[in-house]
Amino acid sequence: MHDDVVQAQYAQLRSAAIEVLDAMPGAADSSPQFHDALKSLRAALEGETPPRSLPTRSSLDPFEHSLVARSYVGQRAEPISLAERAVELRRRLEGDRDLEDRLPGEPSRNVAVTELRAMIVAGLLEELAARLSPGAAFGPGRSGEELARLAKDLADELLAQTFVGE
């Protein structure tokens, strides 16, 4: 009796999943990985062996890619290498204004932090830099070096504004 209930539930789940697949709109902008996943799901639901797809480069490698930033190409989000992320952030920082520079009538939008918070943020940036540099945490890879240098530079800039930097 228990097997009959399980089989009935499985059949109901299978039917519902196939209905979802059939009802999905054409996903012309979807990634190849999405299409492969749908094919595998349909094959599994139909009792066939899912086609084996080769691993794709779009999966994020934390030793090579930023985990928090993407580059948008059309409707797709593409991974950004750690080196590319460092270049982009440095470029943005170079275009930043001085703390006191403002257009006439522009409100101050600078963030003020206490000395203690600045030291804690700097400490976290130093920890991040150590983790992105080749060594025990990051391994022998050198992909994170530019981002590590940027984090260290920002930490030094913050610390220079505290009693630690005096």
What confidence tens digit (pLDDT) does each residue in 47-72 have? 776 666 544 445 678 889 998 889 88
User: 81 has which bridge partners?
Assistant: 65
Query: Which residue type does 110 have?
Result: N
74 or 108: which leads in pLDDT: 74
- Angle value at C-alpha 159, between 154 and 161, nearest 5 degrees: 105
Distance CA 66, CA 80 (A): 6
Domain borders along the chain are 2-45, 82-96+111-165
Return the pLDDT at 50: 62
Higher model confidence: residue 109 or residue 150?
150
pTM of the model: 0.59
Question: Average pLDDT in the 41-47 region?
Answer: 73
- The more confidently predicted of residues 30 and 109 is 109
Report the alpha-carbon distance of residue 148 to residue 85 in Å, rounded.
11
Alpha helix positions (H), 2-114: 2-23, 32-45, 82-94
